[in-house]
Structure 1
């Protein structure tokens, strides 16, 4: 893709004139108006991704409601595939003289509610793809063991906002040498979008382009803001970027010049459409469902109703859709099991109650695959919706597998306006903390961590201590902290939204 930026600045004699014009545009108090019909850039292929996935999915969230029964889709793990193969082998022998097609034997497991996204025969190959480094040992380290806690014991947690304390976050990254997928976020700019009356514009689409064709996408949050990281997508570190914002037929462009200022303000002419009569909230719980997560899953089951009730009583009275994505690992019965959005809280609670912690084996799990399905395969609503993911995990993703990678999908999440609240459960190591904080910071979310009376001993009960590399935090019960973060996000919405 070659953007139409500065088309006349190609001849040497025009360089000085173009530079003068650009500096004049950057100094303007308001961005230049954009004529109707100006092109909207198309996402360019990411060279690090597999050919089949070369075009990132930045399709705008567009679902209009979640008034539907729970729909469940599952990607099987190797245990399921092995059982299926054995069953098919027996059935082929018993049906050798019949004309029944083999596809008739590929039935979904009776333990799964709803319908599969695709026939199991199609899902299996993706689930059992060979790791990128098949010769490497699979076991990185064993998951930490901890004694179960009493069922009625509260779970306490703290929280840090790495975008608010950005210099501390950069220092944390510098002193934490762990394996991860690198995205350079050292250069950071704040985009703020308002309408002509000065009211914030939530959920506006944003495209940022460099003269060399590199581009990134975002959607503003409930407060009309988005963090832009040019080094994360432009390895050439261009000096100038075109920032285009659009919503409901209104479109404006401004220019971002490195080193000139830390924020870019864009004003959309007129009133970019009426806000929904009620705040709309899409809330997803993305959960590591391996054996070491038994305590955390049990606690979520008992507190979900309280979380939902407290969210429903917030001043904005949000219209809330709930989604659940659970994941294990390739050698388990399922790799990813996702339950699409519903507003039926009783049905959602029933689905959560059936979730059991099991499997795992080695320490890293299938977080990459689960985050990919969360971002791309759930029915996210459009039209000014606030979109949040609560990621609850005690282990990092497998970085030795082929297929989706978490950094590509945190970039896609920003493009779709999805914030991730990463919750580090007991046993999360330095690598897991680093990656969870990466995802949260890039998408504009927060890093939440469980706390204990004795930081090194989760069995010691609730308290204020943590093993994580954080400071300046207060402690609440986990359910109240989640509600607080949801309330803060919805509280940024303009009046009437």
Structure 2
């Protein structure tokens, strides 16, 4: 298994300090690489208490294929746990009653009887939910107010959406952050540099591993996208704001090092030494739908069910003929039947369509949902394929995450997603408030993705039908149907791959 890596952070600090002095004296932007041994540590959990993070908080993607049946895993919610406890209590009561009837076996004999095998939790709940009718939408509460009830839209009505690229218009994104005061997890992205990796022939190098390290030991990790690029945000991992960073890049046994000096030109170019590797005959795409499955998402889930086949067929016909793996992660909240239900990657589209068709929108209650937990499982527990894969997540949600639960936090996992080369396309559904928009755009921008938002004929009235208007704080966007927009974004990403891959 390939591991995410750490460059030579144990060399004496004088090396980088001397590099800094050379930069100041000569005006150079990239001091020469310094020879030394590379250490390949075992990844360890991230700790927000550490002054400097010197090992990644993730394991590198390493799966080799997705030719497998759908495998489902479930984290139960409190509703499921409470029901199981009631059923267990009822079973114990009936057993106790039967043991007291004349002719019944003794208590000691009953206790020695083997217990029946338990049915897998995920399978049982999935079957039960699939058989049940869709539950009515639960009320959504934001700021103590409930939004007015909305009539369901016609089944054949298209869903329209717009899109903004906050990395392409970064100054406007910073202005949006400055004027939007909401509760969130802060990562300072005000200092930003574009890393571009090419080989000796000038061809882009996709899915190259990147490690960026300061002299104080603070470090971050990334993987280049299909165009050989990655956005680096030094302040997001180094509060000391070191003047110089070592940037180490590797791919398929080749490795090169460059230096990033704070305040230099925005781009960092790295040429990967050695003979270029052979590009795969087909592009490889891992595509996950990460979906808020609470009651208010009924319309969006229904539309995704009817358009998945169209999306898959159009992706399959792209010029790169991608070998595509599909995954689904659905989430609700702690009080619901399940917290997170995860369906690992498969290339069996019919089976994948089946698990999507079985998904029902239900539960919720309060406004925030378990997005933190679901994003954590998406990044860390899905069987992402290894070198040479394009990895995308389509996050479809109409509410922000609970920030009061503790446990996983979305900013830690968006950092890990960048390290694993996972881009998030955040899709804001109807009812998404300012906090939800802010957080979805944080995740998309940091991972190199886009923010997508549903549009309507009347911005504040989703029941008004498809149109070009939105309540979100965006500008300069075009509108397409949601399925075509998703295919467009996938196509643009795969279109960046070098010839042959």
Q: Retained in 1: the 8 A contact 2:332–2:370? A: yes
Considering only CA atoms, is the larger Rg found in Structure 1 or Structure 2?
A: 2
Out of 406, 413, 420, the residue aligned to residue 410 of structure 2 is 406
Contact 2:41 2:55 in 1 (8 A): no
* Equivalent residue number for residue 260 of structure 1: 264
- TM-score normalised over the length of structure 2: 0.87
TM alignment of 1:416-495, pairs within 5 A: 416-495=420-499
Aligned to 1:47: 47
Please give the secondary structure, in 1, of the residue aligned with 2:161.
strand
Q: 1:485 & 1:57 partners in 2: Cα distance?
A: 28
Shift of 1:364: 0.3
* Residues 4 and 424 (structure 1), Cα distance of their counterparts in 2 relative to 1, 3 Å cut: closer
The one-character-per-residue Cα deviations of 1:120-162 (angstroms, maximum 9, x if unpaired) are: xxxxxxxxxxxxxxxxxx9864664422100000000000000
Structure-1 separation of matches of 2:75 and 2:186: 28
Please say if 1:9 is aligned against 2:22.
Answer: no
In structure 2, C-alpha distance between the alignment counterparts of 1:33 and 1:3, rounded to whole Å: 9
Of 97, 121, 135 in structure 2, the residue corresponding to residue 108 of structure 1 is 121
Query: What's 1:325 paired with?
Result: 329
Any gaps of 5 or more consecutive residues in structure 1?
115-137
Provide the residue aligned with 2:500 in structure 1. Answer: 496
State the number of aligned residues: 466
Partner of 1:61: 61
| Residues 142 and 363, structure 1, Cα contact 8 Å, conserved in 2 | no
The whole-number CA distance in structure 2 between the counterparts of 1:474 and 1:414 is 27
Q: Which residue of 1 aligns with 2:317?
A: 313
Helix, strand or coil for the counterpart of 1:458?
strand
Return 5+ residue gaps in structure 2 as ranges. 1-5, 97-106, 128-140
Aligned partners of 1:44 and 1:343: how far apart in 2? Answer: 31
**Alignment match, 1:76:** 76
Distance change >3 Å, CA 8–CA 447, structure 1 → 2: closer
Per the alignment, do residues 318 and 209 of structure 1 end up closer, same or farther by CA in structure 2, a change over 3 Å counting?
Answer: same
Shift of 1:368: 0.3
2-side partners of 1:426 and 1:100: how far apart?
Answer: 54
SS in 2 for 1:276: coil
Q: Quick check: 20-29 or 319-328, which moved more?
A: 20-29
- Write out per-residue CA displacement over residues 32-65 of structure 1, whole angstroms, 9 at most, x where no aligned residue: 3756x52246657543379xxx986421101111
TM-score, with length taken from structure 1: 0.88
User: What is the SS of the residue equivalent to 1:435?
Assistant: helix
Which residue is equivalent to 1:27? 28
TM-aligned CA deviation for residue 22 of structure 1: 5.0
Give matches, 1:147-166, under 5 Å.
147-166=151-170
